[in-house]
Amino acid sequence: MFIEPSLTGERRGWIEVICGSMFSGKTEELIRRIKRVRIANIPVSIFKPQMDIRYDKKKIVSHDTNAIESTPVAHAKDILELVGEVDVVGIDEAQFFDEDIVAVCEELAGRGLRVIVAGLDMDYLGKPFGQMPNLLAKADYVTKLHAICMQCGNIAHVSYRIVEQDQQVLLGEKDSYEPRCRICAKK
């Protein structure tokens, strides 16, 4: 997407947040938007948390195995140093970043960049996850995606943990989580 200049000639940036439960298609949607940007030959940089090595150390990979190259970073502020001369920035798994992720996204948007961020809005207990509530509050555009409940087939919004672990962050896939609706998550 071309970032149009304002009446004063400055580029205007914005923040787009894609959120939802696991298996709702957040990463898939992020990849789709970035591919569209690349088709238009718009320069883009893509980042993910260094800790997310589930499918690949460098690539952002959806559960459907669609993938796109990214730069893993340990801290949100690293993005500012590594972003380069681009018009669009993609960030996956934002819930795993430190508290600086919100300020980093605002800084990038303030520079006139389109910032596309994807992440879990809630943890496995249904509580707001990491800095996602703050990103949602600062976003210009929000897309909330839903999975399908593995128990009843209704709309799911909870990443229900099916293994016995108490820590908030547990990197996992279908072996550790399944999407569930409100009712089935409480059973």
Residue 53 pLDDT exceeds 80: no
pLDDT at 61: 73
Kindly write down the DSSP assignment for every residue of 8-44, as one continuous string: TS-B--EEEEEEESTTSSHHHHHHHHHHHHHHTT--E
Contact 132, 121 (CB under 8 A): yes
pLDDT at 2: 46
pTM score, whole prediction = 0.86
Name the active-site residue from 16, 29, 93, 178: 93
178 catalytic per annotation: no
Amino acid identity at 137: A
Amino acid identity at 133: P
3 burial class (0-12, 13-18, 19+ CB within 10 angstroms)? middle
| Segment 131-177, tens digit of pLDDT | 999 999 999 999 999 999 999 999 998 888 876 766 655 555 556 78
166 burial class (0-12, 13-18, 19+ CB within 10 angstroms)? exposed
Phi, psi of 90 (to 5 degrees): -110, 135
Sign of the dihedral defined by the CA atoms of residues 144, 131, 38, 35, in that order: negative
pLDDT at 66: 75
Residue linked to tokens 């099916």? 162
- How do beta strands 44-49 and 88-91 pair? parallel
| Segment 178-187, tens digit of pLDDT | 999 999 998 8
Looking at the DSSP bridge assignments, the partners of residue 160 are 178
* DSSP 8-state secondary structure symbol assigned to residue 75: S
* Residue range 108-133: mean pLDDT, rounded: 94
Stated as kind and residue range, the H or E segment containing 182 is: helix 182-186
Q: What is the three-class DSSP state of 67?
A: strand
pLDDT confidence band for 1 (50 / 70 / 90):
very low
pLDDT at 124: 85
pLDDT at 11: 74
- Give the integer Cα–Cα distance in Å for 69 and 174: 23
pLDDT at 39: 95
Helices (H), 21-167: 26-39, 77-82, 101-110, 132-138
Cα torsion through 135, 137, 138, 140, rounded to 10: 110
The domains located in the chain, with CATH, are 14-146 (3.40.50.300)
Q: What is the three-class DSSP state of 178?
A: strand
| Segment 89-103, tens digit of pLDDT | 999 999 999 999 999
